Amino acid sequence: MSDWWKMACVYQIYPRSFMDSDGDGIGDIQGIIQKLDYLKTLGIDIIWLSPIYDSPNDDNGYDIRNYYKIMQEFGTMEDFNYLLNEIHKRGLKLMMDLVVNHTSDEHEWFQKYEDFYYWREKPNNWKSVFSGPAWEYDEERRQYYLHIFSKKQPDLNWENPKLRQSVYEMMRWWLDKGVDGFRMDVINFISKDPALPDGPDGDGSPYFMNGPRIHEFLREMNQEVLSNYDCITVGEMPGASPEDAKTYTNPENRELNMIFTFEHMDLDGGPNGKWDLKKLNLVDLKENLEKWQHALHQVGWNSLYWNNHDQPRIVSRFGDDGDYRVESAKMLATCLHMMQGTPYIYQGEEIGMTNVAFKSLEKYQDIETLNMYKEKIAEGWSHDQIMKAIHTKGRDNARTPMQWSNEENGGFTTGDPWIDVNPNYEKINANEALQDSNSIFYYYQSLIDLRKRYNIITKGDFKLIHREHPDVFAYERSSEGEKLVVYCNFSENVHTFALPDGEILIHNYDQLESCEQLNLRPWEAVVFYQT
């Protein structure tokens, strides 16, 4: 099977917030169908759809109640079949979100099969990612069950071969329908240390991340399911290192095509995690991405992302969402898209959507945020301190509705949106972008097109230059006599360098300030191509 996915660009849709067709304030499948031509215009190849399966929505669909049924708010299986057909008619592909580390506690398996889950008389000391203990006492069974995430997301016991076969059967069902692959939710959590030992200070991750049988399980999944289809797979892997990724993504191992790393997304968090706010040190970011480029070059494959439904919006996080929003959004896109790997664009990133700072906690919907608020108050944090952390890192920053137009609710819904629309929709929306040849949208369109036209972007090696520069991320790509030289100014300071040779491939300003030297203006990005 070909490596078609190495030249491809993926667009992630968070269906709840993408487009509402029936006015109930919740995005749906018919709404996605209405926007397929918009995605085709952007030039993306694959759509990653966050979960659309039946769910009580304790974690917005990442708590699945029935893998074979579409969530009622999103539509019907007929709607899905029509969506898949319309995607394929446009020459696009569909990657579903596979959530099989856990199910909803309302899944029939949880009701019927005790040995599909982890039940213990006595819990260990693990804490949940969503605050509190990772064990919940069940009065009926008079035992505790494990849930690394919410108490309505019990972890599946992958030691049980029957469970594994039930998962593989479900995967085949979707692949036989014609879906083109899977994004696999926390897939490196599925193998736990069978002893479930206490973790340091309640941190169980040494015993559930990249566990003892993870490669065995992934190879079995590949052998039993994936190898029988021409499909794309990406594993979401918090806590995976470049060394781990070499094993996970080396095609000789027949596991996955690529993984999502979290290392670069953890660099602006302190020792106590994401809510422990810390200013990004650009040198840390440069050296981390360099490490991943080098580790997987000619060994495995990288995914390239800044955004998804769990991360704050990158233009607010590492760019400037004020005066230089357009320049910095384009700069960030350039920095990522000129690297080796498959780029992922999250809905709204292509129009420079920003974080939102709701004044009241009541406006927030995310279980992680709401549980964290209670936990931090109990730890003595002030309300303002917590709200600052939420405004900076909360997942709802990415989950405000897609901004389609300057109409009410950004054209997302004619009803009351399930979560407030970012009030800046009047200025920042897809309609505006499509009418402005200088928009971030058309800049993304160019980046996606360049990847298809210049093999060096897919094949070239990576060399960091000006390593210690505190504001500028610069690197070279080389392959068979061709070279790219990429300069990205991650600041509003001006910095001067020797002017590289070659033609300008893409640039987020109209022209260079000087033809004698490279004067990088605020948030300026420019790529030189040499042959």
Min dist. Cβ of residue 417 to ligand TEU (A)? 19
Decide if residue 59 touches ligand TEU (CB under 6 A).
yes
Min dist. Cβ of residue 317 to ligand TEU (A)? 13
Decide if residue 263 touches ligand TEU (CB under 6 A).
no
Decide if residue 395 touches ligand TEU (CB under 6 A).
yes
Report the alpha-carbon distance of residue 343 to residue 370 in Å, rounded: 31
Burial of 464 (0-12, 13-18, 19+ CB in 10 A): middle
Q: Which C-beta is closer to ligand TEU: that of 236 or that of 320?
A: 236
Collapsed DSSP state (helix, strand, coil) of residue 446: helix
Q: Which C-beta is closer to ligand TEU: that of 129 or that of 506?
A: 129
Q: Return the residue matching tokens 């952007």.
A: 42
Min dist. Cβ of residue 416 to ligand TEU (A)? 24
Q: Which C-beta is closer to ligand TEU: that of 368 or that of 476?
A: 368
Min dist. Cβ of residue 444 to ligand TEU (A)? 23
Min dist. Cβ of residue 273 to ligand TEU (A)? 9
Among residues 54, 105, 310, 327, which is the contact residue for ligand TEU, using CB under 6 A? 310
Residues 361-380 within binding reach of ligand TEU (CB under 6 A): 368
Among residues 107, 164, 264, 274, which is the contact residue for ligand TEU, using CB under 6 A? 274
Q: Which C-beta is closer to ligand TEU: that of 109 or that of 324?
A: 109
Decide if residue 149 touches ligand TEU (CB under 6 A).
yes
Min dist. Cβ of residue 62 to ligand TEU (A)? 3
Report the alpha-carbon distance of residue 92 to residue 31 in Å, rounded: 17
Alpha helices, DSSP H only, in 77-160? 77-89, 108-112
- The size of the chain, in residues, is 531
Which single residue brings its beta carbon nearest to ligand TEU? 62
Catalytic residues: 185, 236
Among residues 70, 84, 87, 129, which is the contact residue for ligand TEU, using CB under 6 A? 129
Residue 409 Cα to chain centre, angstroms = 25
CA–CA distances in Å: residue 424 to residues 27, 178, 357, 403, 412: 19, 38, 11, 9, 13
Report the alpha-carbon distance of residue 401 to residue 19 in Å, rounded: 8
Decide if residue 53 touches ligand TEU (CB under 6 A).
no
Q: Which C-beta is closer to ligand TEU: that of 350 or that of 368?
A: 368
Decide if residue 238 touches ligand TEU (CB under 6 A).
yes
Decide if residue 147 touches ligand TEU (CB under 6 A).
no
Q: Return the residue matching tokens 């569909």.
A: 94
| Other C-beta atoms lying within 10 Å of the C-beta of residue 78 | 10
Report the alpha-carbon distance of residue 210 to residue 201 in Å, rounded: 19
**DSSP codes, 343-400:** EEEETTGGGT------SSGGG---HHHHHHHHHHHHTT--HHHHHHHHHHH-GGGGTS
Report the alpha-carbon distance of residue 237 to residue 101 in Å, rounded: 12
Min dist. Cβ of residue 241 to ligand TEU (A)? 16
Residues 77-106 within binding reach of ligand TEU (CB under 6 A): 99
Report the alpha-carbon distance of residue 409 to residue 420 in Å, rounded: 8
Residues 182-201 within binding reach of ligand TEU (CB under 6 A): 185-186
Collapsed DSSP state (helix, strand, coil) of residue 143: strand
Q: Which C-beta is closer to ligand TEU: that of 136 or that of 236?
A: 236
Residues that bind ligand TEU (CB under 6 A): 59, 62, 99, 129, 149, 185-186, 236, 238, 274, 309-310, 368, 395
